[in-house]
Amino acid sequence: MSDTTTPSTEALSPSDEARLHLAAHAACLSDQARALVPVQPDPAPGTLLRAALELRQQVDAVLAAAAVAERERGVTWQQLGKATNTARQSVHQKWHPAIEAWAESGRRAQHDTTGRALAAELDDWVARTEPERADAVSAGLDAVRFPGSEALETHQRLRAESLHERLRQALAAKAEAWEAVNALKLPDDDCGVDHPVNHQLVAAFTELAEVYEELAGAEPALADDHHASAAWWREPAQRCREEGINPQP
């Protein structure tokens, strides 16, 4: 089944979408693994190893989706570290990029249909081998267990979407500022805190930090990640504010 297409605008709650995102990747992994079971006589050289490597890539996708689903349901990094016998800092470093990418994508399952339609597809997928579980996926969704919850989720999404648009603009401004830095040909002592390009860089870093702090309030399930990103950008903003910049040779 497909798992990497343009997401629908008719989304369920982020928690539901994350769970469907994980389920879709898990179904693909199962289908890919099953395809390796039949023995074909004389396959082309490297075919089996290439299929196994593709399977490992899908395992990585399942792991990333599982981390996203755990965070969306309120599991802390400390709890994830304990569950995996890993230090909190290590598990955060490993999976934070997946959380950030998930947030920037709109917190939607990357699929070519709506969340409810994807749930129905996955129900059918489970029912192929377990016909008695006709609603194995959809029955566990918040949208089914708590009817009417979409209104609040839609309001929260709209607020977050405007912030993510602002984030995209801030990232573009940061890239533009870096281009200006790399274009400098001045001696280091001419690139102090009052240089126009330094002001441009400080403004870009500061805006990124501020947007991530606002996202922490708009997306409370991912607040830890957004606070961490805000702290990441505050540090270079302060450094440039105090020390200026050094142009690239």
Taking residues 162-175, report their average pLDDT.
94
Using 50, 70 and 90 to split pLDDT, how confident is the model at 120? very high
Rounded to the nearest integer, the mean pLDDT of the chain is 88
Using 50, 70 and 90 to split pLDDT, how confident is the model at 29? very high
Q: What is the pLDDT of residue 122?
A: 96
pTM of the full structure? 0.79
Which helix (DSSP H) or strand (DSSP E) does residue 173 occupy? helix 150-182
Taking residues 40-68, report their average pLDDT.
95
Taking residues 53-57, report their average pLDDT.
96
As a three-state string, the secondary structure of 9-76 is: CCCCCHHHHHHHHHHHHHHHHHHHHHHCCCCCCCCCCCHHHHHHHHHHHHHHHHHHHHHHHHHHCCCC
Residue 133 has pLDDT above 80, yes or no: yes
Report how far apart, in Å, the C-alpha atoms of 95 and of each of 78, 86, 208, 223, 225 are.
13, 12, 21, 15, 10
Q: What is the pLDDT of residue 146?
A: 85
Residue 17 has pLDDT above 70, yes or no: yes
Of 47-61, 189-203, 210-224, the range with the lowest mean pLDDT is 189-203
pLDDT in tens, 90-101: 999 999 999 989
pLDDT in tens, 200-246: 999 999 999 999 999 999 898 899 899 999 999 999 999 999 988 86
Using 50, 70 and 90 to split pLDDT, how confident is the model at 187? low
Q: What is the pLDDT of residue 247?
A: 55
